[in-house]
């Protein structure tokens, strides 16, 4: 098929490239000329494992092209994919103006009947609104909903090995066309869920919000564990052993972030309000997530004392491993909370350092990003792990102990494991105090602590 993808962000670039890999002729369009120029030169503007090689291979094969507008023969495409941003407005509601603008453009350029496939995350009824725009075209265009379920860091694998493919279409022609398009991804079994456009649109919001609720609830339970002396690990195992609940997404941490969960949760409860249906669980998940960064700041303060004038080291700035995305990342929220308490921040991340430094330009005198992970520890009063990159999972705790400062009372330095991935026994064996999320603080044995105090 001949296909056009509007938008070269995570969704549009991965989708367009993936479709080209399946043998289709694909044009990816974006209004940002610098980004298009980068892609034409083989430079990938986002970090996503496996994507760069995939893009370059399909460009060389002639199946993948990039442009700032649609040119012939792609004005006779079989399908136009909309994969542009729907950022939150001032009230948190999704801004679909870019989606509608693309709809208008498709209506202008399409020279033959085609499908208009919306992959952007949008409120219920957006397909109807786009359909009204493309009905002005001289050719017949049908708008369908095909929400993306790509996770940053594993987006390429998610495209080729999807859990499900949701198709919201009204006509049998649209359903069969999309089934044929995605047939190579279903050789091992049926993955297509066919529904109407409105149900498809709501499915994406429902899925992300349900996962966000699990994350926020576990973080609230972790805070309760700190207050009561319970252990979140034991609670997680006990709860997750229930087959009705399962063990996934039951880990306490610094809160969710990224381009999807925060935006989609807010969009869902604003959508509910606009229809007179309060989405109270969605609102509670959002509030709990916003509170988690402040809880983590209190945990740091409780571990090292008053933060004014102190330096806190952060490991991990991206909202999750295998991405350079810091949108709504816990690192950004925690940094602002620490700065408000008078602290300085020195940080490291394998991929997101430049994006974080750019976001913190106004705080350049109080926030520093270093190129090497252990260099962030020199002169710091505590280390906080925020993103569980592989390179952080088995660090040299002896080196960490040497570089961190002693506590105000001369006690051992402290590490705060914001992802609960380190073994407390290994941390304390090195002469460090361990503090996880939802678990008691653990001090090193007296002999280790005394060795630390003598250095």
Strand 433-436's sheet: what is its strand order?
A: 367-369, 344-348, 311-315, 382-385, 414-417, 433-436
Dihedral sign of CA atoms 344, 349, 352, 353 in order: positive
Query: What CA–CA distance (Å, rounded) separates 210 from 285?
Result: 9
3-state secondary structure of 34: helix
Q: Which pair of structure tokens corresponds to residue 38?
A: 């980068």
Q: Which pair of structure tokens corresponds to residue 160?
A: 């080729």
Taking each continuous run of H as one helix and of E as one strand, the counts in the chain are 17, 14
Query: What CA–CA distance (Å, rounded) separates 239 from 220?
Result: 14
For every residue of 292-305, DSSP letters joined together read HHHHHHHHHHHHHS
Catalytic residue at 225?
no
3-state secondary structure of 417: strand
Q: Which residue has the tokens 């990159």?
A: 389
Query: What CA–CA distance (Å, rounded) separates 57 from 429?
Result: 49
Please choose, from the candidates 438, 405, 401, 404, the residue with its C-alpha nearest in 3D space to the C-alpha of residue 419: 438
Q: What share of the chain is helix, strand, coil (3-state, %, to 5)?
A: 45, 15, 40
Query: What CA–CA distance (Å, rounded) separates 61 from 71?
Result: 19
Q: Which of 28, 127, 225, 260 is catalytic?
A: 260
Query: What CA–CA distance (Å, rounded) separates 334 from 126?
Result: 35
Contacts of 115 (CB under 8 A, 6+ apart): 78, 79, 80, 141, 142, 143, 144, 174, 177, 178
Strand partners, 105: none
* CB burial of residue 30 (10 Å; 0-12, 13-18, 19+): buried
Q: Which residue has the tokens 């087959």?
A: 243
Query: Which region, left, alpha or beta, applies to residue 438 given φ > 0 means left and ψ of -120 to 50 means alpha?
Result: left
Q: Where are the alpha helices (DSSP H) in 22-154?
A: 33-40, 51-60, 97-109, 126-134
DSSP 416: E
Catalytic residue list: 260
């Amino acid at each position: 098929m001949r296909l056009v993808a509007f938008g070269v962000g995570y969704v549009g670039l991965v989708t367009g490239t993936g479709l080209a890999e399946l043998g289709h002729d694909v044009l990816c369009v974006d209004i940002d000329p610098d980004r298009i120029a980068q892609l034409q030169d083989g430079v990938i503007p986002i970090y996503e494992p496996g994507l760069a090689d995939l893009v370059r291979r399909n460009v060389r094969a002639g199946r993948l092209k990039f442009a700032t507008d649609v040119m012939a023969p792609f004005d006779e495409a079989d399908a136009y994919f909309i994969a542009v941003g729907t950022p939150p407005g001032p009230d948190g509601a999704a801004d679909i103006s870019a989606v509608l603008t693309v709809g208008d453009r498709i209506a202008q350029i399409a020279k033959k009947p085609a499908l208009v496939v919306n992959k952007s995350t949008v409120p219920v009824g957006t397909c109807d609104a786009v359909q009204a725009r493309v009905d002005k075209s001289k050719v017949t265009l049908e708008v369908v909903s095909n929400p993306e379920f790509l996770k940053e860091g594993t987006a390429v694998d998610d495209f080729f090995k999807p859990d499900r493919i949701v198709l919201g279409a009204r006509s049998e022609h649209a359903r069969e066309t999309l089934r044929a398009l995605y047939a190579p991804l279903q050789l091992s079994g049926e993955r297509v869920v066919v529904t109407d456009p409105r149900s498809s649109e709501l499915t994406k919001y429902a899925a992300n919000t349900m996962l966000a609720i699990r994350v926020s609830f576990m973080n609230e339970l972790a805070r309760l564990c700190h207050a009561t002396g319970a252990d979140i690990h034991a609670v997680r195992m006990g709860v997750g052993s229930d087959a009705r609940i399962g063990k996934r997404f039951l880990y306490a941490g610094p809160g969710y972030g990224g381009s999807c969960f925060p935006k989609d949760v807010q969009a869902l409860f604003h959508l509910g309000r606009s229809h007179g249906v309060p989405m109270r669980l969605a609102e509670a998940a959002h509030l709990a997530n916003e509170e988690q960064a402040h809880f983590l700041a209190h945990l740091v303060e409780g571990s090292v004392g008053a933060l004014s004038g102190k330096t806190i080291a952060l490991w991990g700035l991206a909202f999750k491993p295998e991405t350079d995305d810091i949108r709504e990342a816990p690192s950004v929220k925690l940094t602002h909370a620490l700065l408000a308490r008078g602290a300085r921040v020195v940080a490291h991340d394998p991929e997101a350092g430049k994006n974080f430094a750019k976001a913190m330009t106004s705080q350049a005198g109080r926030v520093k990003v270093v190129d090497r992970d252990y260099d962030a520890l020199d002169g710091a009063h505590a280390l906080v792990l925020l993103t569980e990159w592989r390179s952080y999972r088995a660090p040299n705790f002896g080196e960490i102990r040497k570089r961190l400062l002693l506590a105000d009372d001369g006690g051992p330095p402290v590490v705060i494991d914001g992802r609960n991935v380190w073994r407390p026994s290994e941390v304390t064996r090195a002469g460090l105090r361990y503090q996880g999320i939802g678990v008691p603080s653990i001090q090193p044995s007296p002999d280790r602590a005394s060795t630390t105090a003598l250095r």
